[in-house]
Amino acid sequence: MDDINFSRVLTVGELTGLITGLLDEAFPSVWVQGEISGLTTPSSGHVYFTLKDDVAQIRVVIFKNQARSLGFFAPPVRSADEPDGTLFSRAARPNIQPPWRPADGQHVLVMGRIGVYAPRGEYQLIADHVEPVGYGAMMLAMEELKKRLAGKGYFDADRKRKLPFLPARIAVVTSATGAALFDILKVILGRFPKSRILIVPVRVQGEGAEHEIARGVQLVNRMRLADVIIVGRGGGSLEDLWAFNTEVVADALFASEIPVISAVGHEIDFTIADLVADVRAPTPTAAAQLVTPKLDDLFMTLDTIQQRMTAQMRYRAARYRERLVTLGMRIKSPKQDIDRFALRFAMASSRLRSAVDARVYERKSALASLSHALARLSPEAVLARGYSITERADDGKIVRSASDIDIGRTARIRLHEGTLIADIIGKEPDEES
């Protein structure tokens, strides 16, 4: 204040500038609680409303870029230094706010700085963040539960199971009257009409809803009623979705022996159930698409597989034919070997017969010669040449010498033709003797 010169006349602009500087210095950041009134969203993209209570009011402006980052009227903008999927951090906070949007009559907490709108000479609250009253406490509770469950391994990726390709039975744990159920049924029956769907009706918001959701999941597991479970509901405020941010639901999903799909709210909603479930679907409709392949797509896939298999079999058959032809050219025909051996056998047989015949002829000739020679040496042949055989008549002993028979004895003289009987009447000595 000491640097203000009160002796000089100020222009309105100068005065406004001085006030702006003082407010910027005094209120660089402030939290204000109140009720929204007169909210407007002109085409400029800025958001304007009045924040009031029983005794006062103040104009609030949320500039376009900040409104976008808060996710009120455009997709949320995630901080570049935060990894995708970060939950409950300040940069990711807009992902869990929508579909809540500021509206007349809501009690909210606004964080921002005090500024001056010079054209009208009005001070205003330039908002950097807006949330419903009580939102911060809920966020803190969620953050603490998230840390505790993460420490117990509830969010570990290695424990999460794959969904069955074509489940025979699908359980849906949700409100029996909610739009989410009808969206799920419409999609499943439209994609795969023969699907068997079990509806487990539960309350999805309000006091005690979390216990009904947990009991529904436990019932399906205990009785083995399905191959996959969809747990979820349509969109809503943080308070509406609170049942899916409780420990009792997280315990039921973690203990489930059947794969669970969490389908809570819209794509920008994140809950504890999303982190514990085996698969997180951005919407109930997306969950229905995950569990049931489209029948037409299945037929198309089967046709494609059949065509690929047929082409592969034809290709392999052609390759095998080529290999057989190549091997056939490299391998000699057994018939050729048989014919060759048969010819060799015939020739050997012919040579053997010729050799045997020649040997037999040779033996026959030799035998004939021997027989002829033997015949010439036989007694009959000798007798035929004029010789005779003399033997004693009484004992048949051959007489080879005159001394072999005595005078007066009878001898038998066998000639070539006939036999003579003679009595020995005398002997003559050999001429040589």
- Tell which wins on pLDDT, 379 or 103: 103
Mean pLDDT of 398-412: 84
End-of-domain residue from the set 276, 293, 310: 293
Percent of the chain with pLDDT over 70: 87
Residue 384: pLDDT band (50, 70, 90) is confident
**Residue 28: inside a domain:** yes
**Residue 3: inside a domain:** no
Residue 222's domain is classified under what CATH number? 3.40.50.10550
What's the number of domains the chain is made of? 3
Residue 299: pLDDT band (50, 70, 90) is low
Mean pLDDT of 58-76: 76
Would the CA dihedral through 206, 207, 211, 216 be positive or negative?
negative
**Residue 47: inside a domain:** yes
Residue 72: pLDDT band (50, 70, 90) is low
Together in a domain, 231 and 281 = yes
Model confidence pLDDT, tens digit, residues 387-404: 788 888 888 888 888 888
Q: Identify the pLDDT of residue 281.
A: 93
Together in a domain, 235 and 289 = yes
Model confidence pLDDT, tens digit, residues 74-107: 443 333 333 333 333 333 333 334 446 788 888 8
- Tell which wins on pLDDT, 279 or 330: 279
Mean pLDDT of 303-320: 86
Together in a domain, 30 and 128 = yes
- Tell which wins on pLDDT, 124 or 236: 124
Together in a domain, 106 and 171 = no
Mean pLDDT of 20-35: 84
Task: Name the DSSP letter for residue 93.
Answer: G
Together in a domain, 50 and 124 = yes
The C-alpha atoms of residue 234 and residue 65 are separated, in whole angstroms, by: 28
Contact 133, 55 (CB under 8 A): no
Q: Identify the pLDDT of residue 135.
A: 65
**Residue 176: inside a domain:** yes
- Among 38-47, 254-263, 325-334, 362-371, where is mean pLDDT lowest? 325-334
**Residue 407: inside a domain:** yes
pLDDT at residue 274 greater than cutoff 90: yes
Q: Identify the pLDDT of residue 191.
A: 85
Q: Identify the pLDDT of residue 99.
A: 44
pLDDT at residue 292 greater than cutoff 60: yes
How many Cβ atoms sit within 10 Å of the Cβ of residue 133?
A: 13
Q: Identify the pLDDT of residue 201.
A: 95
Tokens 């029948």 locate to 295
The highest-confidence range among 194-198, 225-229, 321-325, 331-335, by mean pLDDT, is: 225-229
Residue 203: pLDDT band (50, 70, 90) is very high
The half-sphere exposure of 128 on its side-chain side, counting CA atoms within 13 A, is 11
Together in a domain, 129 and 176 = no
Beta-sheet pairing, 389-392 with 410-414: antiparallel
End-of-domain residue from the set 133, 150, 182: 133
Together in a domain, 27 and 115 = yes
Together in a domain, 126 and 180 = no
The half-sphere exposure of 160 on its side-chain side, counting CA atoms within 13 A, is 15
The half-sphere exposure of 339 on its side-chain side, counting CA atoms within 13 A, is 5
Residue 23: pLDDT band (50, 70, 90) is confident
**Residue 30: inside a domain:** yes
End-of-domain residue from the set 293, 311, 342: 293
Question: Tokens standing for 410?
Answer: 């009878």
- Tell which wins on pLDDT, 215 or 335: 215
What average pLDDT does the chain have? 82
**Residue 188: inside a domain:** yes
Can you give the residue range of the structural domain that contains 93?
12-133
Residue 109's domain is classified under what CATH number? 2.40.50.140
Model confidence pLDDT, tens digit, residues 210-262: 999 999 999 999 999 999 999 999 888 777 888 999 999 999 999 999 999 99
pLDDT at residue 35 greater than cutoff 50: yes
**Residue 150: inside a domain:** no
